[in-house]
């Protein structure tokens, strides 16, 4: 087995866009992306990337610029992702489901002046409002019609016209076709792979406050190569990757999009998770690779319509974002005949850090072994420095070429997260066995992992506090069979005020995305506090655990 030191010595980092150029050269005639039945070859994709990059350069985009992508899974995401990188600029991913407040915070924090989005009202209107607040200078608007096959384009125009935004014809708005300079290619740009930030990916890190993880070309290049080693049995130029996880999420960006690129796989793009459409796409395209999160596999397992579809084309699946229940894994493997393994990662590690082997040595309940070139150690939870004996529980720390450069504009947070010798504090507690398999048993941070997304209690609490009847609130994670975890809000009302959970949920829909809405609300006369008067989550977490343990005992 190759050691981490040997792998790193052999690894040669590359600009991320070089992987696309290499695949275009090798597999130009092969399909690169399928969106609702419309297919682009790698040659066509490569040409669109080049002409778009040249258009961005004509706008003045280049090294040091941060360009935002607020896009669902369409070919536009991949086109602009690689086009931006070819200019030497940095991609900043935005969740299109964010409310305006969240978009504005991230755009301002990331110094984004140009945003790429769709001409769909549900996304564009929020981005335009951020521009009107003078946070953005320019919006590049991509037409939904470009992505659709002829018949669906006609039907969309007839029946979905109301979903399209009214785009002003001013200098602040640039249409996708205006960027296309036929026959032009981007001017070459010198890129320092070790220092140039390819992607600024926002995360809660270890504190719960969204921060931009600076992922360099070296970081992403390493994780692409590591995934290629892990998926060593994948057939170059032959695989079809189901891309239902959103590319703006770091897991999908690496494991769905970038791995597809290095493999020359066809990306079967799904703009959102709809079970029937997903099952139909698997059958229509005979999908072979399927990265997902436990909630998606659970939905497929439990849906009555699943038995109507032949899913036997699926060979390999990698689950991330949340713990994978053993029963979900076993049921999905039985339905499809595939291999479904659990992996582990963080935004700060680009993200993959550990994966179960794809052979018979994989172990349910474990996050697997470390990715090639990655090292780990476990330290005391109390002092975060001294290593614990092998097999004992401690905080997992990671070291490898995929570990981020640091947090954007937050040197203190970087120093708290990365040690002087380059190890990253994960905030996760676990142990490693004698065979190198890692098991996680607890989390230090308050971050809620809901369907694979990072949900920040502080963001939810701040939104709840905007209601005039609320005096105090605490948000914690509770187990959710479908989502893995969900937020629960405990609330103390101001004297003389009344409020119901449904009323509060209606109010919060204007301030939070759907994934952030608490699943449960509990109103109390008082909330627990520490000795110095600070609201305390510990007691509520313990209460919820005890309540669920009692309920489980009664059912058992």
Least confident residue range of 141-150, 277-286, 320-329: 320-329
Euclidean distance between CA atoms 542 and 279, whole angstroms: 40
pLDDT > 90 fraction of the chain, expressed in percent and rounded: 76
Q: Across residues 90-102, what is the average pLDDT?
A: 94
- Interatomic CA distance for residues 39 and 195, integer angstroms: 36
**Residue 375 forms beta bridges with which residues?**
399
- Residue 419 pLDDT exceeds 50: yes
Q: Are strands 90-93 and 197-203 parallel, antiparallel or unpaired?
A: parallel
Sign of the Cα pseudo-torsion (397, 399, 401, 407, in order) = positive
CB 511 within 8 A of CB 101: yes
- Would you report the helix, strand and coil content of the chain in percent, each value rounded to 5? 35, 25, 40
What pLDDT is recorded for position 458? 76
Interatomic CA distance for residues 476 and 454, integer angstroms:
13
Rounded to an integer, the average pLDDT of 175-198 is 92
List CB contacts of 485: < 8 A, sequence separation 6 or more.
322, 448, 449, 450, 455, 477, 478, 479
pLDDT per residue over 300-324, tens digit each? 998 999 999 999 999 999 998 777 8
Q: What sign does the CA torsion over 79, 80, 83, 88 have?
A: negative
Residue 308 has what DSSP assignment?
Answer: G
The 10s digit of each residue's pLDDT in 7-45 is 999 999 999 999 999 999 999 999 999 999 999 999 999
pLDDT per position as a tens digit, 106-119: 999 999 999 999 99
Residue 258: which of 273, 270, 243 has the closest Cα?
243
* Cα Dmax for the chain: 71
The gap between the terminal CA atoms of the chain, to the nearest Å, is: 45
Q: How far apart are CA 248 and CA 234, in angstroms?
A: 24
Interval 106-161: pLDDT, tens: 999 999 999 999 999 999 999 999 999 999 999 999 999 999 988 887 777 767 88
Query: Which domains are delineated in the chain?
Result: 4-344 (3.40.50.12780), 371-443 (2.30.38.10), 448-555 (3.30.300.30)
């Amino acid at each position: 087995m190759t050691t981490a030191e040997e792998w790193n010595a052999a690894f040669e980092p590359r600009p991320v866009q070089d992987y696309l150029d290499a695949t275009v050269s090798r597999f130009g005639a092969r399909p690169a992306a399928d969106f609702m039945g419309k297919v682009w070859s790698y040659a066509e994709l490569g040409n669109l990337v080049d002409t778009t990059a040249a258009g961005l350069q004509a706008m003045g985009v280049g090294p040091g610029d941060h360009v935002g992508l607020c896009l669902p899974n369409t070919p536009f995401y991949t086109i602009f992702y690689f086009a931006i990188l070819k200019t030497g600029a940095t991609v900043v991913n935005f969740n299109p489901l964010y409310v305006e407040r969240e978009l504005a915070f991230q755009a301002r924090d990331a110094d984004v002046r140009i945003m790429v989005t769709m001409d769909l009202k549900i996304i564009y209107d929020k981005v335009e409002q951020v521009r009107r607040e003078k946070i953005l200078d320019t919006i590049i608007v991509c037409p939904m019609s470009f992505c659709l096959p002829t018949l669906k384009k006609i039907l969309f125009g007839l029946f979905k016209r109301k979903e399209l935004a009214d785009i002003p014809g001013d200098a602040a708005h640039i249409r996708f076709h205006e960027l296309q300079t036929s026959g032009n290619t981007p001017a070459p740009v010198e890129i320092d792979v070790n220092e140039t930030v390819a992607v600024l990916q926002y995360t809660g890190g270890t504190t719960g406050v969204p921060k931009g993880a600076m992922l360099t070309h070296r970081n992403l290049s390493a994780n692409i190569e590591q995934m290629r080693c892990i998926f060593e049995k994948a057939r170059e130029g032959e695989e079809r990757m189901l891309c239902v996880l959103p590319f703006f999420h770091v897991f999908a960006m690496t494991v769905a999009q970038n791995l597809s690129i290095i493999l020359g796989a066809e990306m079967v793009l799904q703009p959102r998770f709809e079970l029937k459409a997903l099952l139909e796409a698997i059958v229509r395209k005979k999908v072979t690779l399927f990265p997902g999160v436990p909630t998606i596999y659970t939905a497929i397992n439990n849906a009555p319509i699943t038995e109507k579809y032949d899913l036997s084309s699926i060979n390999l699946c990698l689950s991330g974002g949340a713990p994978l229940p053993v029963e979900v894994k076993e049921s999905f493997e039985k339905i499809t005949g595939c291999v479904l393994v659990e992996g582990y990662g963080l935004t700060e590690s680009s993200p993959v850090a550990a994966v179960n082997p794809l052979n018979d040595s994989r172990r349910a309940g474990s996050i697997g072994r470390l990715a090639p070139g990655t090292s780990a150690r476990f330290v005391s939870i109390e002092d975060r420095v001294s290593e614990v004996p092998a097999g004992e529980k401690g905080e997992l720390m990671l070291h490898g070429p995929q570990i981020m450069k640091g947090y954007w504009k937050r040197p203190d947070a970087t120093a708290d997260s990365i040690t002087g010798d380059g190890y990253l504090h994960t905030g996760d507690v676990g142990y490693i066995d004698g065979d190198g398999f890692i098991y996680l048993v607890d989390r230090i941070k308050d971050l809620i992992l809901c369907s694979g997304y990072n949900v920040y209690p502080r963001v939810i609490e701040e939104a709840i506090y905007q209601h005039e009847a609320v005096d105090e609130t605490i948000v914690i994670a509770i187990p959710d069979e479908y989502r893995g975890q969900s937020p629960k809000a405990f609330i103390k009302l101001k004297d003389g005020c009344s409020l119901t959970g449904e009323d509060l949920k209606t109010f919060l829909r204007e301030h939070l995305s759907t994934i952030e809405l608490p699943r449960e609300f509990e109103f109390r006369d008082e909330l627990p506090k520490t000795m110095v008067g600070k609201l305390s989550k510990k007691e509520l977490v313990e209460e919820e655990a005890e309540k669920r343990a009692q309920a489980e005992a009664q059912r058992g």
